[in-house]
């Protein structure tokens, strides 16, 4: 039940009493959301659930809540839901990102500040994987954002990707375009083997797709990103496969290092020279 102001002598209905009891017991039906949402004053004292296969946000602004107000938030979707400070301040001792089936409580300490108290999620066993997000390939850049920092490693799988025109693919982390990447490629096709690499680069080159359109050439890749919450020297390996309509096999392997100042929270695929027209990326957290 949303926070209300009662008057002396007011008689509550049975429905109001039931709702008050549910709120006191942290129960009752949650206000269901399927897209990024900005909290409003009426959300005080209520529960909100998010359900979306892609990443979403819950934004917190000032002058809406009083000290002592609470909002319960649960993420039911496969996409990460991130509690985001708009004009308000949100502090936490844990992550503000909620993976699927994780929840937490916003407790306001003033009209402009809140503490996010994250509940313990159902962590997978050691070596287990959790699907964090599914992202469609479209446009010149595809970005996976709001990656939670609660796992040891990341596994990124792309399936059936293709471009409308020639696409020269590369990877970038945290939108960092500084010369903080080093990599080495080995490229194999049905007629030749080549390789090369570079250091102090603004991105990681991961191969080129030929100038075929539609689904004539599909790309598949498996990318391991190890200890992605470390700062400096984050390692990754990648194996990428694609096939042309002429049955020519193209296979790329890449070893790379990213020297970042903070944990990896976003990954971008850059399609230089063309645009992506289809396919999906599946991001898994690995414990």
CATH code of 14-118, in short, is: 2.60.120
Residue extent(s) of CATH 2.60.120 domains in the chain: 14-118
Name the pTM for this structure. Answer: 0.60
Q: What are the tens digits of pLDDT across the range 108-163? A: 999 999 999 988 665 555 567 888 888 988 888 999 988 888 888 999 998 888 77
Average pLDDT over residues 65-72: 92
**DSSP states along the chain:** -------TTPPPPHHHHHHHHHHHTT-S--EEESS-EE--GGGTT-EEEE--SS-EEEEE-SSS--TT-EEEEEE-SSS-EEEEESSSEEE-SS-SEE-TT-EEEEEEEETTEEEEEEPPP-PPPTT-EEEEEEEE--BSEEEE----S-SSEEEEEEEEEEESS-EEEEEEETT--SS-EEEEEEEEESS-EEEEEEEEESSEEEEEE-S--TTSSEEEEEEEEESTTSSS-EEEEEEEEEE-TT--EEEEEEEEEE--SS----EEEEEETS-EEEEEEEEEEE-
Check whether 214 has a pLDDT greater than 70. Answer: no
Identify the band that residue 106 occupies on the pLDDT scale cut at 50, 70 and 90: very high
């Amino acid at each position: 039940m949303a926070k209300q102001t009662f008057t002396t002598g007011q008689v509550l209905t049975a429905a109001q009493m039931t709702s008050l009891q549910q709120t006191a017991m942290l129960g009752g039906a949650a206000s269901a959301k399927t897209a990024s949402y900005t909290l409003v004053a009426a959300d005080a004292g209520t529960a909100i659930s998010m359900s979306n296969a892609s990443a979403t946000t819950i934004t917190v602004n000032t002058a809406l809540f009083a000290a002592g107000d609470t909002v319960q938030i649960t993420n039911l979707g496969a996409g990460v839901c991130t509690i985001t400070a708009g004009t308000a301040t949100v502090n936490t001792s844990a992550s503000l990102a909620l993976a699927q089936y994780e929840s937490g409580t916003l407790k306001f300490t003033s009209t402009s500040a809140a503490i996010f108290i994250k509940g313990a999620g159902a962590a997978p066993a050691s070596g287990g994987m959790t699907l964090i997000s599914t992202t469609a390939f479209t446009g010149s850049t595809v970005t996976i954002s709001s990656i939670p920092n609660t796992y040891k490693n990341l596994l990124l799988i792309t399936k059936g990707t293709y471009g409308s025109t020639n696409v020269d693919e590369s990877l970038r982390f945290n939108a960092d375009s500084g010369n903080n990447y080093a990599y080495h490629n080995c490229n194999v096709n049905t007629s030749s083997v080549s390789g090369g690499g570079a250091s102090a680069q603004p991105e990681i080159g991961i191969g080129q797709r030929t100038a075929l359109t539609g689904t004539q050439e599909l790309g598949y890749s498996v990318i391991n990103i190890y200890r992605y919450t470390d700062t400096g020297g984050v390692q990754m390996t990648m194996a990428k496969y694609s096939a042309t309509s002429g049955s020519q096999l193209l296979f790329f392997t890449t070893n790379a290092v990213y020297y970042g100042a903070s944990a990896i929270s976003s990954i971008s695929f850059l399609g230089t020279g063309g645009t992506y027209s289809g396919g999906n990326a599946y991001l898994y957290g690995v414990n």
